[in-house]
A = this chain, B = another copy of it.
């Protein structure tokens, strides 16, 4: 497999996908067209507008982008694609659409065959075992929470440390993930913004500029450095 699962598309003060440019060139090396999956619709943006945003980033790299929504036969589009990029947004909407259109499994199979895959945020969540560690609001009801399982764990994108100054009683991210572990025995990678998971020929590592927080059932959470194998 040849995949990148990033915590976020955009760093604070940065441009869309900018900080990932070198890794993206590496991932899509030798490829001149990818299929973009716009179903997560961040902020309710249309499939068309969202695809334009992806096109604008990839054009200077010499990679054409086609939105999956443009195809009448989406399964065939996935079968014929050279590579994939799933953008962030709402994970419930993304997963619902992929299950509804019977695309989750065919996408997984094509990635497992070696076609390169880039996910950001919600697009990274679907690379995990299931979507039960998303931060998103359940605005629609998917037929299942199961995802592609391209990596043998779950991802918590945009992982955020507790803020001791916050006078607010909502649960911290750490509390939420610990609640997940009372009900599930799946490792969770708390991926801070600036970090990504790289799976290259079965070697899975965490990359980027930040430490990464790992949560396992019946264990204290622990931190790992960029470059650590998972």
Which residues from chain A sit less than 8 Å from chain B, CB to CB?
Answer: 8-13, 41-44, 89-90, 92-93, 131-141, 144-145, 158, 160, 167-171, 175-184, 193
The residue from B132, B169, B177, B178 contacting A140, defined by CB atoms under 8 A apart? B132
Q: Which residue of chain B has the shortest Cβ distance to A140 in the bound complex?
A: B183
The answer to whether A193 touches B169, judged by C-beta atoms less than 8 angstroms apart, is yes
| A134 shortest CB reach to chain B, Å | 6
Would you give 5 A-B contacts (Cβ < 8 Å), ordered by A? A13-B167, A42-B171, A44-B178, A135-B171, A158-B170
Q: Which B residues lie within 8 Å of A93 (CB)?
A: 179, 183
| A135-B167 contact, Cβ under 8 Å, with A145-B141, A178-B43, A183-B93 | no
> In the assembly, what is the distance between CA of A137 and CA of B92, in Å?
11
Q: Which B residues lie within 8 Å of A133 (CB)?
A: 137, 139
Which 8 A-B residue pairings sit nearest by Cβ, starting from the closest?
A: A44-B182, A12-B167, A158-B170, A137-B176, A139-B180, A8-B169, A139-B183, A141-B145
Q: Which B residues lie within 8 Å of A178 (CB)?
A: 43-44
Q: Which B residues lie within 8 Å of A139 (CB)?
A: 132-133, 176, 179-180, 182-184
| A135-B132 contact, Cβ under 8 Å, with A44-B179, A169-B8, A178-B44 | no
> In the assembly, what is the distance between CA of A138 and CA of B140, in Å?
12
Given contacts A12-B169, A93-B183, 18 further A-B contacts (CB under 8 A): A10-B169, A12-B167, A41-B179, A42-B175, A44-B179, A90-B179, A132-B141, A133-B139, A134-B137, A136-B171, A136-B176, A137-B180, A139-B176, A139-B180, A141-B144, A158-B169, A160-B168, A168-B193
> In the assembly, what is the distance between CA of A125 and CA of B73, in Å?
40
The answer to whether B140 touches A170, judged by C-beta atoms less than 8 angstroms apart, is no
Please give the count of copies of this chain that the complex contains. 2
Q: Which residue of chain B has the shortest Cβ distance to A144 in the bound complex?
A: B141
| A57 shortest CB reach to chain B, Å | 16
> In the assembly, what is the distance between CA of A89 and CA of B42, in Å?
27
> In the assembly, what is the distance between CA of A101 and CA of B8, in Å?
39
The answer to whether B170 touches A160, judged by C-beta atoms less than 8 angstroms apart, is yes
| A177 shortest CB reach to chain B, Å | 7
